[in-house]
Amino acid sequence: MNHEIARGPSFAVLKVGLQRGDVLTAEAGSMVSRFTRVKMRTRLNSPRGAGFFGTLGAFITALIRKFVAGESFMVNDFTCEEGGEVTLAPTFSGTIAVRQLHGDRILLTRGAFLACTGDLQLKMRWGGLRGLLAREGLFFMEVSGTGQLFYTSYGGTLEVPVNGTLTVDHGHVVAFDPTLDFKIRLPGGGFLGLVASGVGLVMEFSGRGTVVLQSRNVSTLTSWLTPRLP
């Protein structure tokens, strides 16, 4: 399997070349185009189960991922017997990054997952009670295993190495290493700071690892648009 990230960094699209035996799993609604010989199978966004209880559990898991974690209810699996190409694009304008996992892990924030290949496991991780106030969501997606992960951002990305502590606006976090501890809390100034500072809830990271930030914030965009809607 080969891939190319084109039209970046502002309006990136992902082109993936499939060979016999390859499987590309992508967010529903992310497909731009595919060769006719590329087959697409839509399934629930959850680990596959067997029997009635397996199907019921998959349905419940997909519902939770949709309404709690902000992921798609369904995902698409692309396969090809003769070789072909699939083109994907994220919801927001920005970059697409690729991460090769070799048994390690990475945590993604709401909406950052685009696609993956190989033997990768996706599960949700609780972000804490204060995440209930975060419009970006209170769950993170933990990706682990072996394979290629493609994730997206709103705007450009910046990788920040942490060796100590780092405080970041929650809405600018795209991904981070699970070696980092984190807390979700109010910005400086308490509740008044949350309302008047223009900064949402913040994530306070500690330890050693890397945090991937995005230059734009979806919540800021929606706050700007809402008063202007009819």
CA terminus-to-terminus distance, the chain: 47
pLDDT at residue 217, as a whole number: 84
- Per residue in 114-127, pLDDT (tens digit) is 999 999 988 877 76
pTM, to two decimals: 0.80
pLDDT tens over the chain, length 230 residues: 899 999 878 899 999 999 998 999 999 889 999 999 999 999 876 654 443 344 554 555 555 555 455 555 578 999 998 889 999 999 889 999 999 999 999 999 888 999 999 999 888 777 655 444 444 456 788 899 999 999 999 999 999 999 999 999 888 999 999 999 988 887 765 555 444 444 567 889 999 999 999 998 877 777 777 777 78
| Cα–Cα nearest to 141, from 45, 4, 225, 1 | 45
The residue type of 37 is R
> Residue 230: helix, strand or coil by DSSP?
coil
List, in order, residues 6 or more apart from 2 with CB less than 8 Å away.
16, 17
Ordered by where they begin, the domains of the chain are 2-222 (3.60.160.10)
The helix or strand, by DSSP H or E, that contains position 65, with its residue range, turns out to be helix 51-67
Are 169 and 200 within 8 A, CB to CB? Answer: yes
